[in-house]
Amino acid sequence: MPELPDVENYRRVLARNGLRKTIQRVVVRDARILGRLSARKFASRLHGRQLIETRRHGKHLLARIDRGGWLALHFGMIGALAFVRAGEDDPPFTRVRFEFARDGCLVYTSKRMLGRVGMTEDAGEFIAGHELGPDALDRHLDFAAFKAALLEGKSTAKSALMNQKKIAGIGNIFADEILFRARIDPTERTDRLEPAELRRLFRKMRDVLETSITRGAGSEHFAERVPRGFLIPERRKGGQCPRCGSHLKLFKAGSRTGYCCPRCQRC
């Protein structure tokens, strides 16, 4: 389930391998991923063009097209962006291939077709249209702004962190990780948190997201590369707290299953 760290690494894949290269052909393997946009129209807007800039906001990835407009990618539940060299096989569930005139192609994969590939004329309008709050790693998101966003309305710590209108980029897995690292009960209401807990939450949010980017979130081997003390490798039945060894507690938040340590987080 791609969240901010995963999508940031896909952005880096695009920035490293996909900028300033002429797109020779766009192959749409499954047009459902485009929603209402026609595959022919989509391909024709990219044909012969170059991507010249990347931008990520929360879980959305955008790439500016040299003659105007932006390519907009969202990864749904199980999606990714990868660079495939000439002669290499496409990864499974490839839905769209962006083939360059020389040197390989970028492939967008989506296992369950819940992602979206599209176009937008203006990146700023696109973000505004999705009612996204500031990106969780935005330099301008300081503690005061974070606190104000979290305390607005009555919600639990976990649902506040996952609310894209408050702060963009955090989903189920990283919300659990951040709350675990901050030792906060995910089901506690934000207005009941101590000032020190809110500070810790802010610090751990940045720390967890930045560390996960560096350790390769979004790649297959991420679970093996996460630092010691992270909850992610223990997210399974019978998983144990990496800090105190307690059996993790499963809880439901909406339709998603969360994990927390009953001892460290008093959950």
Contacts with Zn ion by CB under 5 A lie at 241, 243-244, 246, 261, 263-264
Least CB distance to Zn ion at residue 234 (A): 10
Residues 6 or more apart whose CB falls under 8 angstroms from that of 200 comprise 182, 183, 184
Residues 6 or more apart whose CB falls under 8 angstroms from that of 152 comprise 166
User: Rounded CA gap, 165 and 81, in Å?
Assistant: 25
- C-beta closer to Zn ion: residue 123 or 267: 267
Q: Please confirm, yes or no, whether 2 is among the known catalytic residues.
A: yes
Q: DSSP letters along 10-79, please?
A: HHHHHHHHTBT-BEEEEEES-GGGGTTS-HHHHHHHHTT-BEEEEEEETTEEEEEETTS-EEEEE--SSE
Least CB distance to Zn ion at residue 264 (A): 3
- C-beta closer to Zn ion: residue 8 or 177: 177
Catalytic choice (11, 59, 215, 235): 59
Least CB distance to Zn ion at residue 262 (A): 8
- C-beta closer to Zn ion: residue 14 or 264: 264
Name the 3-class secondary structure at 159.
helix
Least CB distance to Zn ion at residue 248 (A): 8
Q: Please confirm, yes or no, whether 262 is among the known catalytic residues.
A: no
Q: Please confirm, yes or no, whether 56 is among the known catalytic residues.
A: no
Q: Name the residue whose CB lies closest to Zn ion.
A: 241
- C-beta closer to Zn ion: residue 61 or 182: 182
Q: Which helix (H) or strand (E) holds 174?
A: helix 172-181
User: Rounded CA gap, 63 and 46, in Å?
Assistant: 11
Q: Please confirm, yes or no, whether 3 is among the known catalytic residues.
A: yes
Whats the size of the chain, residue-wise?
267
Residues annotated as catalytic (active site), given as ranges:
2-3, 59, 256
